[in-house]
Chains A and B, each alone.
Chain A
Amino acid sequence: MKRRFLDVVLDTMRTLTIKTGYPVPISRSDVYSWARELNLKAKGPVVLYTGALYQIMPYLESLVSILKRAKESRTFLELMGLGKRFASSSLVKTFIKVDKVKVATSNAILRSIVLLLKEVGVEPSYLYENDLYSGVLLYDLGLSETFLLQAKRVYKVFKERGVKKIITVDPHTTYVLRNVYPKFIEGFDLEVQSYIEILSERIERKRPKETVEVVIHDPCFYARYQNIVEEPRKILEASGIKVLEPRRTRRFTSCCGGPVEALYPDLSRAVAMDRIRELSSISKTIVTLCPICFSNLSRVKPQNVEVIDLALLVAKVRGLMLGK
């Protein structure tokens, strides 16, 4: 039977997730290292769950470039054989070259989220080495059995730790936990709220030293799937940031192209460039609320355009940044 590139990618993600709990070759300590200096409790009914999406994006980029190279050279693909074998070999870790700057940015975003939550009086606990991947990508790619396996693992962690409420940090994880898990896990009874929703309820007005003007890029999974549209605007405006709207915005937002990066990199890039053009015609500072949007738009942005995550920007203008 002919092995398609698609099958290799699917197999790789499936196998890695089953073996390691993550769809990319990332070590557990790299998933939670961002939280080291924040002194979050390891136990408590309200837990911050990152689902590791911010952390795995730099790794995913690297994995994709390996697979892309493999696709271009057939011998490499043959050498690799089944994705399964590839994923389980130590080969993969040798090849993965992660951009340290990107890792640092992901970590800084996560730290900002915690600082913002603390500012509004929310002190969540954290799962550390049990901050597992939610499985959302597997779900979207139709790997339903592996997704279910992963969802059960994640749910078990929550239950063992007596979690009642989960605070999520990105639109995809929020959606999959709130809207998909209950369909697959019997008796699912956890409250799920995104940090964006929490902040928008509690954030207080604060004027920044200088006026900042940004254009907002709504992520599909907040704006269309969960009707989270006004919340990020409220957070930005409460921090004295002027929010400009692009042509396609709110429910009518247009995708960053990120979700097909692994399988159709050229298409993904074209979609991202189209969106960057539209956004940067309104402002040279683009605010994103999703690690996939952030990663994919950053990749194609021109030099004079800045793409910044909402948490990082808001924490900065509110003067919340830690020393580094």
Chain B
Amino acid sequence: MKLKLIDIAHGRSGDKGDAANVGIIAFNDEGFMILQKYLTKEKVKEHFKGICLGDVERYELPNIHALNFLLHNTLGGGGTVSLKHDAQGKTLAAALLRMELEIPD
């Protein structure tokens, strides 16, 4: 079955230089188990194709049922160098929530 990320999680994103950080938090433990198993670094890299031009790092915070992704080379240089409207990646958490996960029934 297909699961919309926006139905099981929320989050927040911001900038770290030219990298964006995208934190995704499951609403409950069950949701976190799904994130932990299916929201892989490769899926996130593929999702942000054309936006994230560098590597993706993935970290787990099971204590707050969250995952943190660092998307390198994403913000057009970052800071005041960036010409992007969203130069700080503030809307990228919402962008990740667009994802649909395919999970076994």
Whether A associates with B in a native complex is no
